[in-house]
Amino acid sequence: MTSRNKLLIIGASGHGRVVADIAIKMNRWQQIAFLDDDEEIQSPIRVKVIGKSNDAFTYINDYDIFVAIGNNKTREKIQTQLGVAGANIPTLIHPSTIIGEKVEVGIGTVVMAGVVINCCSTIGEGCIINTGAVIDHDNVIEDYVHISPGARLAGTIKVGQGSWLGIGSVVSNNVNIISGCMIGAGAVVVKDITEPGTYVGVPARRV
């Protein structure tokens, strides 16, 4: 589908504003606006709130639409609905990102400032690859995963759909993390996680 010259970002919270900043720096859209369900929300940047999230469906023919909601399940729900309705959903990549050969990044995914993604890794749809994260070679990050700021993933790691790796977490090479996991801030994952749940500590253990 051809991309539009206007972009709508659903969600004007802190995460949404970082997303907007990346979109501005990409220099690809002539106009950028937010949708948010919170009537009180104020945008301190030059991107303004022009309606509520449901209004997205009426803008589908005029705007590219990006879902900037931190909760993985909510983001998945809204992005899926928009996809079914025929929305053009872009991929947002900060210009400072370092991306290796044969890296694929899906639609609706944002890759933030200072991220490194090395050769032959695949990032799914609707993911958040947050500020300064490192995803080394041959990783498979499935759809709607959030890799928080400063998380570091070694080589040949798989992260299942919708899982969330907390800020500063570390994953050793050749480890699989199943779908439905929350890896706590600073946790170090050294072996496969095969049961959904919350894991914290060094080495990471289920709580």
Ligand X SMILES: CC(C)(COP(=O)(O)OP(=O)(O)OC[C@H]1O[C@@H](n2cnc3c(N)ncnc32)[C@H](O)[C@@H]1OP(=O)(O)O)[C@@H](O)C(=O)NCCC(=O)NCCS
Residues designated as active site: 137
* Residue 180 near ligand X by CB under 6 A: no
Taking each continuous run of H as one helix and of E as one strand, the counts in the chain are: 2, 23
Using the rule CB under 6 A, which residue among 109, 130, 139, 161 binds ligand X? 130
* Residue 207 near ligand X by CB under 6 A: yes
Which one, 71 or 172, has the nearer CB to ligand X? Answer: 71
Using the rule CB under 6 A, which residue among 26, 49, 120, 200 binds ligand X? 200
Which one, 33 or 127, has the nearer CB to ligand X? Answer: 127
* Residue 149 near ligand X by CB under 6 A: yes
Using the rule CB under 6 A, which residue among 136, 166, 170, 193 binds ligand X? 166
Residue 167's nearest CA partner among 143, 184, 192 is: 184
Using the rule CB under 6 A, which residue among 113, 182, 188, 196 binds ligand X? 182
Strand blocks (E) in 76-163:
92-93, 98-99, 104-105, 110-111, 116-117, 122-123, 128-129, 134-135, 140-141, 146-147, 152-153, 158-159
Interface with ligand X: number of residues (CB under 6 A): 14
Angle at 147 between CA 145 and CA 148, to 5 degrees: 135
* Residue 107 near ligand X by CB under 6 A: no
CB of 130 to ligand X, least distance (A): 5
Is the separation of the CB atoms in 19 and 35 below 8 Å? Answer: no
